[in-house]
Structures are given as C-alpha cells and as structure tokens.
Structure 1
C-alpha cells in the first residue's frame, strides 16, 4: 500500500512544471472539486498565532453552520485537551477571528453565541456602496417629421422618407465617489427591537447591621472557593443588598455561595456583573411564613445562625453536650 502511494506521488511530482527548487517544499497542487474550505494566508501564515490556534481556526471554519464550538464540544470532537483548546480560542479572539457573547433567548435562557470571521481585517475597511445596475439602453425614439399643411388643392404629397436609425448615445459616466465619502455597509443588521432594561438588584425589606455584615463576609470569601470571583471593596458594597435579600428569604449562606459560583463560564471576565445577574435572576421565592427568624452570631464559633434569641449554634451546642457527658462520666 505504501509503495503504491509513493509511486503515485512520484508520478504526480514528475508532472510539476520545471524548474523545481533544490531544497524546501515542493507543492503538488490538485484542484479540489468538493469538500474543501478556502483559507487565507493571513491566517495560515500568521506569525502571531500558534500552530494550534491556526489549526483550530481551520477546523472551526470547515464546520457547518450551527455546530457547537465551545471548549467542551471541541475537546470531545478533536484530540486536543480543554486547556489547549481554551488557550487557542483566546488567541483567535484576540486577533479578531472569533467573538463570544452571551445572549438571552426569548424563553429567558442565556446561551453563548460564537461568531467566526474568516477575514477580520475586511471588517475594518470601508466599502463603497455598489453602483445601481445599468439599465438596458432604451430604443431610439423616432420623431415624425413636421409636415406642412396640405394645400386645399393640388397633387397629393409623397410619403415622407423613413428616418434613419442612429446608434444610441453612450450613457454619461457616473461621477466618481470622492475619497473620504465612502459609505460603510454594516455586515450585521441593527436590532429590530430595543432591549428591555435589566431588572434591579433585589433588596431586603430592612438591611440590618447583622445582615450587612454576613453578606459582606460571604461576598469577600467567594475567591477562596473560586479564584475567579475576586471582588473589589466597592463591588462588595454594591452587592451586599442582593445577598441580604437572599438571607432574608431564609437561604443558607452555603446555598447562596453554590448558586453564585456553580457552572460559571470559563473564564469569568466580569465577576461583578456575573454575581449581580445571578443574585437577580435566581432569587428564591419568599418563605410562606410571614415570621422571619432573625440571624444570631454564635457565642462560641461566631458563625451566623437563625434563632429567636442569642446563644450557640447547633454544632457548638452538640459539642458542649458531649463535653458535659464526658465530664459526668
């Protein structure tokens, strides 16, 4: 099998027009008739892109419209790992070949839409509006010659000779478009409807000092569980009312932390906006009971817990009871 392939390649090489280079690659070009993708040299020879990014761009460009091209989808399709694919996608995004944006569907679900452009440099060049199609020259109009009024008496006039058909005049050349006045044709149409305003961040009925302290501590501690959720002091101050609204609805702090950090995109570019969105969109319903048990600070471990009066949390009470049993024994 290998011998046949080598023989066929040598036979094709013999048909390459001379002169051949003494060294380096020799191209045997066989034109494609089906199943091919056009790739520009601006991508194939881009020195700023890694070989992995160029190869991944070619593969994405060859996929049908609507194919999933996320990190996990590409890792399941190709042999490269998720980390290598994620780094290559970031390279393509930096060079303008790829753009990822989160979009809300009509049913409220948020999805990531990926747009790939095979020639991003062309988007930056203004394009002159296409000239209107030239109409076919109209048939020459034949004007009947003006005839003198016939005399009252006399011989009948001979019929007027047929006018000669002249070639239609060439249309006047169109005025050139002056430089600096070229019209830019956008590739993406403008949205047909204005976007609805985003809902505001939820707030508690009463932002007590205890709720404010627990909310600020929870937000400041997010980066210990997920390093991507590092919030500034100003952002923590703005998000405190949203966390307090969750706490007021009898939501455990661990549940809030899990809701804010689970199934987050990779990477989280804007943690403040992401946390604000989840605090607003995933707000749990209020409890059925109108009586809300207040938060207390444990006298032993200083953990926040709900109880009508101050004291110890459940773990500290269990520990104290165990110690009392051992002392009694």
Structure 2
C-alpha cells in the first residue's frame, strides 16, 4: 500500500489517491475475467498437448498422482475430523474478515484494554481478531494432537519422495481437466497432500508467529527477536499468508463441488463413504451457523463479551456511543 493510501501517513508532495468509479471497477473486473479465462484456456490446451507426448504419457503411467501410504494408515475420515474442519472454517472466515477490518478501519468505535492497564489498549476490532486467533490456535493444537494420536497425519504429511513426481502428475491431470479420480476416503492425491501439509504446518504457524509479532503482547524490548523478525516484514508475511488462505479456500471449495460434491461433503461432514444428501445437509447447516456468526460480529454484541475480559471504552461520537 502506498504512503498516500495509508491513514495517518503524510503523502509526499504531488501524491494523490486514485479512486476508480463504479463503471471503471466494472471494466477492470470484466477485463480481469477475460484475461484469466484466456490464460486458463491456454493452460488447458498446453497441458493436453503435453500429455499427448509419449514420454509424458509414460510418466503419468509410472506416477498416477498418488503413492501408497505406510502400512497401518487409517482408512476413512473420523467424526472428530469433520468437527475440526467446521470449527476451523468458522474461525478462519471470521479471522480473515476481522483482519481485513483492522487494515481498513480508520476510526475505531471502541477500545479494549486489560484490567488495571488502561494505558495498553487496542481497538475492539483488533481485540476480536486476537480473540479469534486464540480460539483458532487452540483448535489447531487439538487438531494436530489428534492427527498424530489417530494416525491421520499419514494422509497429509509426505512419507516418501514419490510425493513430488506424483504431485506433478496430479497437477498435469488437473490442468487437462481430466482430473484425478482418487478416493479421498482412503488417500489424497500427492498435490492435495502437499497443499494440506503446507496449510497446516507452514502457513498456519507463519500466521501465528507474524500475528503475535504485530500484537501489543509482543515484547518490544526483545531486541534480538525484533531484529530476527522486523515489524514491517512480519506485516507483509501476515498479509500474504491471509491471501494464501483465501486462495486455498476458494480452490478447495471449487474442487469439492467439481469432483463429486455429495460424496466429498459426506466425507467431510458426515464421516461416511456414500453418495447421499446427509453431508450436504450438514454443510448447509454449517453455512447457516457461519452466517449467524458473521452477522453477530458487530460492536453491539462484541462489547459486552469484551468487557468480560477487560475494560472497554466506547469512543464518544461513534455510532455505538450515540446509542448509549
């Protein structure tokens, strides 16, 4: 973000913020869709031409897109994994929303501070973001612990170097639109495995560490830590991690529906390897809960909750302040 676009930063002489009209935004979106569609079409044509070459065809025969899991790997998706999936989705959506609000908010409605430490304060939006982070971390700790206790870790942690050529093979299959037909109930394809591993064991810890660095609870006098992870670097990594999660969620949801929606939703929500509407019904119910949480995440609801954990001062003249 340019200096001229950041609140509280003096813009250099001659700098100005360029605001697009609604028509211009529509034009940008249309051009973007056309460009992305054209690029996607070229990728598909190129991939189809590539897999028609004998050496590549032989490569796909030798590497079908997945490798055998270690002996004793569990089969199926237990109910606890479905619940963890729902809790994680619920929290990460609200975390992304509140994080975006933190970046865009110019005039906080209220401030939260620990009891007895009113000089240390943060906006209500930042408090909500951090509170969600704590719940998300706790949920993640339980999830990882259950992964290793149950043996489900073998499905998302690579256990063979074969993961890389098989991931390339799976990527080629996706690019040709002749998508892998592997059974996620038993084993994910190697490309899925790499992305799940990256999300759980790289992106999530990166979000946690950089989020802690940006918070008021980070030790400001820890010079060595601050040199290892400068504030500006942490902020950039935190934003790019958020973008990674957004892209991952979009692709994940799209593929769930494009590669056998009913069966995939039954795997994720109903813990059964069948094709019926049970998982879809639970999925719709989870969307209702998510929508309710989204609607409830407003100052009128958050302020009483925040007061249970500290002091809240409503800013005079804010919309919340005028209703008191």
Per chain length, whose mean CA-contact separation is higher, i.e. which structure has more relative contact order (CA < 8 Å, sep 6+)? Answer: 2
Q: Which one has a bigger Cα radius of gyration?
A: 1
Q: TM-score range by the shorter chain?
A: under 0.3
More helix by share: 2
